[in-house]
Structure 1
Amino acid sequence: MRAELQKFLSSITLDQKKVDDTIMKAVSKNIEGMFFLYGHGGTGKTFIWNTLSATVRFEKGIVINVASSCIASLLLSDGKTTHSRLELLIIVHESSTCSIKQQISQAELLIEAKLIIWIETPIMHRFCFEALDRTMR
């Protein structure tokens, strides 16, 4: 993990470092919140996500990497779709929650996670994010 993190940090740009520092500061202080990272293809979003994942894992934390599509999930280390990892229903409505039961290991994983990285968010309805928020509460 150390070698992987060093590889990422050795080629990070100043702009990417600012993003990484901002998010990692919130993670290290256990500040709840959302960060949206957007940009055209080739601007380094995947690089930042993987750097954040490596940093959290290097510090012995849990990071959950999910994507809104199966293809996008392949870009992330241990990435899964939101529907499979978070047990998010395919059809969501304004009072939906994720189908994770409180007593299973998947719920414990969510509770212990320092960071959830969710990519390709613009293709999802806001009810999906609200469902995860309700589940986490």
Structure 2
Amino acid sequence: MPMQLHSSTDDTENQLVLDELDYDVFAMAEELKRYISSITNEQRRVYDAIMDAVSKNCGWRDLLPLRSRRYRKDIYMENVERLIIWDEAPVMHRYCFEALDKTLRSITHVPKPFGGKVVVLGGDFRQILPVVLKASRQDIVHATINSSQLWEDCKVLKLHTNMRLQSSSNPSEVEEVKKFAHWILSIGNEEAGEQNDGEASVEIPEDMLIPDSEDPLLSNISNPDYFQGRAVLAPTNDCVQFVNDYLCSLIPGEEKLYLSADSICKDEMNSEENAQIYTTEFLNTVSCSGLPSHRLKLKENVPVMLIRNID
């Protein structure tokens, strides 16, 4: 294990610290100039706001480069990092941020959020929220960072420009990305679909996913590229099953039904209790993430994605 800082005599011998400080500050400065020259005015305002917060945090000092040199521990502690960037924050449980907050307060002995450090949380709440097993909608909302008491000390900085539209030179691709981005925003703003009681519903743009009257699905059934470039985003396994059954019904041919194993191992059969609990009827109803359903319907030419082999 690396040695603690206070266990050193004159020099910092903590290898993790040495590795973290082993960079070329001049090369990083040049890289920063290139990035600054290419960002939008909106991004520049966010960048200036963050750096202003960092510079006012007890006197900001640039980290000293440590290439092939060893610095005394007191110099390192004076120039310790004051900016923490946490990307994709909305997908993390709020307990993670609260744990970091308590840890930094304990280390710095500063009774401020995150021990007085500037923490930048990046992400979009329109995308995936924390995954909480067997949780209700209210439980998931309660697990997000903006449900934490730390959110009261956060300053929200918004970015609206879609950088993918600027990076593409293909007009048709730009139009497609713009259309998809507008659709995503309309879902986040609750402008798409209808109100419901929390139950998942399937709404698929007809021109993007569901075959039209010319049946492009059937005409491209033997073209793997056609399916590789398309996807249906569904929130639950029930929605996935609904889409699969619908698309399978469009393909002509005789449907065959395959059933999964519906009995427990012979070694377990010796227990009367197991036989009563794991009945055939019960095993046929098991449907969980990572396992296929008990009833598998297939036709000739039906595309199949093999995720993994559990045997």
TM-score range, shorter chain: 0.3 to 0.5
Q: Normalized per residue, which structure has more helix?
A: 1
Normalising by structure 2, we get a TM-score of: 0.19
Q: Normalized per residue, which structure has more strand?
A: 1
Larger RCO (alpha carbons 8 Å, 6+ apart):
1
Normalising by structure 1, we get a TM-score of: 0.42
